[in-house]
Structure 1
């Protein structure tokens, strides 16, 4: 697949031919690392991370799609596990026996989209798409935001995940203009706009500190709602882009907010927001590419938060997604709003 730089995306990423051998992406090792994760059930870490299991599957599967190996994990096994986390109310838990939650419902819908699993969903839960959509809608609050679960904690992440899952289900109001809206999209976007700060960035709630992760959820929500360009405009994009570009430190890595350490996952949280506002070229892409590749385990595969640390599937996913945003040679293009393969999302949503 051609990964030439597109409009506004810049072409400053280092090509593989220009990088020394130790800074090549070890694709086969990363694929093998992800495949090995479910074989480590005798390790304590496996059981301590049960509360992240469904998201872990999403992270691993997304990385495999971007690496061009979408079938490296068995589809039937993936679907069996996802459906074991499904509740009658349409929500998904993190693992079998866990309560349903917005984060894991979103991850499950993304997995179903990546595995073409919605036909099987209907067999496991009749009218499953609508039940999932109604579960998500039930978590919207009077002020437009969304709770994560029945206990009521709110966060811009939950709002974004709700919109993303509804989009993949084809249930957003702007996807069904002739149907009664299942959520109040205007109230949701009004809440997101209220989360923007004087520096141009966004926080977890109105008045909260700006943070790169929350910038992604807010910019992503506005993108899904079709309001990003009309709300920010070029001046707003410049102000936000300036704040995001200041997240790059001398190592080439990015941090989440001022005075914090670099972390490879911000290669996604920062860069995807830069992509959605067409400001990727404001980052030194060659230095960032080098930083991400230094976070690899070249022998066992996987990426860590920083060079020399232990690898995990979370940082593996978002490091590879960051490289895809940088148009690293050989990687499948990632969709900046959905954090999934862009060709797959385009096909799934019927986009040309």
Structure 2
């Protein structure tokens, strides 16, 4: 089971023409991605395989087509990526890493299959939690991505996200993780990858998401951050990651979800952003690109549709801005 392959044909629709989400085209595009194993791009992207399953499965759920991919085969693939240490790699035989472990947890939660970890003698969710907890530096609160030691606020956010979905936040020093996130805040209100690094929309999402999970959004200057994030919208409605950069569909999630978490989503032009996202789709073969006219891929398809859900696009399931999962999934899991 794999959902990362080479790009499709260019996305985009004629400007001025009626725009609507081509749901069936996108469903077929996602379903087709595992049938392209004779293409070299398929093997070039093996290091993204497990993430690709998450990027494909989530929009299918949002588009009310959760059964478009075979459930048992998907679960089998995810579990085949697990290591003895409890973590997950990008594909069978790849080293365990925080990012793939987070994707694995999100997939299993979406499929209501976390119990499969226990049923198949894989140590249960506690083994996964132990892998994640062992990657925290108990002095600084930051998390490594793997045993080799790279640190990043992405890994911290991912750790809190996965552990909260598994009900295992008690395994880590949450207060120190929160303190580390606070150190990554900049004078412009944004957050960087580590203390002193420039503000970037992607890192803002990870830091705001981590604070939301920890119940510490009170630490954020919401107006100052909201102003910086709202300035990411360009004239064509798209959002960028930092000043003077091009717009990109993926920031429809990074920026908009951050604004939603701090109650400032109304500070951007939602109608213009919706139109920008819809112009990035390939209406003939499905999929979304980073911007109109470029090649589509599953990464931008995922974040484009997630962005539309966040904006309240008709017919889509509501998405949770903290977890980037359907709201009905997180409601089911977090209420247990």
Both proteins in one fold, TM over 0.5: yes
User: For residues 260-289 of structure 1, what are the alpha-carbon distances to aligned partners after superposition, in whole Å with 9 as ceiling and x for unaligned?
Assistant: 000000000000000000111100111111
Question: Does residue 131 of structure 2 align to residue 135 of structure 1?
Answer: yes
- The yes-or-no answer on 1:316 pairing with 2:316 is no
Instruction: Indicate which of 140, 146, 151 corresponds to 1:149.
Output: 146
Deviations 1:102-145 (A, max 9, x none): 00000000000011112211122343211100000110012100
From 158, 171, 179, the equivalent of 2:168 is 171
Cα deviation 1:223-281 (Å, max 9, x = unaligned)? 000111x212xxx1010000000000011100000010000000000000000001111
Q: Deviations over 1:269-323 (max 9, x none)?
A: 0000000001111001111111000000000000000001000000000000000
- Give distance in 2, aligned partners of 1:222 and 1:325: 19
| Map of 2:181 onto structure 1 | 192
Which residue of structure 1 lines up, in the alignment, with residue 225 of structure 2?
240
Of 341-350 and 148-157, the range deviating more from structure 2? 341-350
CA distance in 1, matches of 2:47, 2:120: 23
Which residue in the other structure is 1:5 paired with?
Answer: none
- Which residue in the other structure is 2:313 paired with? 328
Name the CA distance, whole Å, in 1 between partners of 2:161 and 2:177.
13
Look up the match of 2:6: none
Partner of 1:178: none
Equivalent residue, structure 2, for 1:14: none
Q: Distance in 2 between matches of 1:20 and 1:343?
A: 35
Of the candidates 231, 252, 258, which is equivalent to residue 219 of structure 2?
231
CA contact (8 A) 1:88 1:125 kept: no
**Are 1:49 and 2:59 counterparts?**
no
Q: Is 2:287 the counterpart of 1:298? A: no
Are residue 289 (structure 1) and residue 274 (structure 2) matched? yes
Paired residue for 1:159, among 156, 160, 176? 156
Unaligned runs of 5+ in 1: 1-18, 174-181
Secondary structure of the residue aligned to 1:272 is helix
Residue 66 of structure 1 is matched in structure 2 by 62
Match of 1:34 among 25, 30, 35: 30
Runs of 4+ in 1 over 6 A off after TM superposition: none
**Which position in structure 2 is the counterpart of 1:346?**
331
Aligned: 1:77 with 2:73: yes
Distance 1:126 1:75 in 2: 19
Equivalent positions of 1:275-286 (< 5 A) are: 275-286=260-271
**TM (normalized to structure 2)?**
0.94
Q: Does 1:253 align with 2:238?
A: yes
| TM-aligned CA distance change 1:145 to 1:316, over 3 Å | same
Matches within 5 A, 1:6-21: none
